[in-house]
Amino acid sequence: MQSIAQSLPSRLVRSPGTTATRVSRPRRSARAALRDLIAAKGLDHLLVYGIDRSGSAVPWIAGWPVTRETAVLLSEHHPDVLLVQHQNHVPNARRIATTMDVRWETFRWPRSVR
C-alpha cells in the first residue's frame, strides 16, 4: 500500500531548514496537492501531526514550527485548521499561519480531533 507522502509529486518535497512566515507558492501548491490527494483517496480529512520539534510536514504546510504538540487538519471542502498545544502560542501562530483557523488544543486524544 502506498503512503500518502509517497503519492505527493516530488516538486513538493520541503527543502530542509525552510520556515516562511507567509504563504508561499510552494506551500499553496502543497495544500492543493494534499486536497487533491484527500479527494482521490476518498478521505474526509487529513491530520498532520508533530511533537517536540519533530514532524517537518507541519511547518512545510503551515509555516508554524512544531513546539510541544501541533497538528494541521486539512479537508477538501473546509478551511485548514492549525491546532497548537499552548494557549500563549495562539497569537504568534495566527501571525504565521495567516490563512488557517488557529486554535488552542490540549491534545487529549481522541477528543481533540472530533
**CATH code at position 105:** 3.40.350.10
The answer to the question of residue 90 being in a domain is: yes
Rounded to an integer, the average pLDDT of 38-66 is: 87
Give the ranges where 1-114 is alpha helix by DSSP (H).
4-7, 25-41, 57-62, 90-96
Query: pLDDT value at position 109?
Result: 58
Tell which residue, 66, 79, 67, has the closest CA to residue 31: 79
Query: pLDDT value at position 20?
Result: 41
Total domains, the chain: 1
Rounded to an integer, the average pLDDT of 74-98 is: 91
**The three three-digit cell numbers of residue 76, written as one number:** 477538501
The answer to the question of residue 44 being in a domain is: yes
The answer to the question of residue 75 being in a domain is: yes
The answer to the question of residue 14 being in a domain is: no
Domain encompassing residue 57: 23-113
The answer to the question of residue 12 being in a domain is: no
Name every residue whose Cβ is closer than 8 Å to that of residue 88 and which is 6 or more positions away in sequence.
none
The answer to the question of residue 16 being in a domain is: no
Q: Which of 12-21, 35-44, 50-59, 79-88 has the lowest mean pLDDT?
A: 12-21
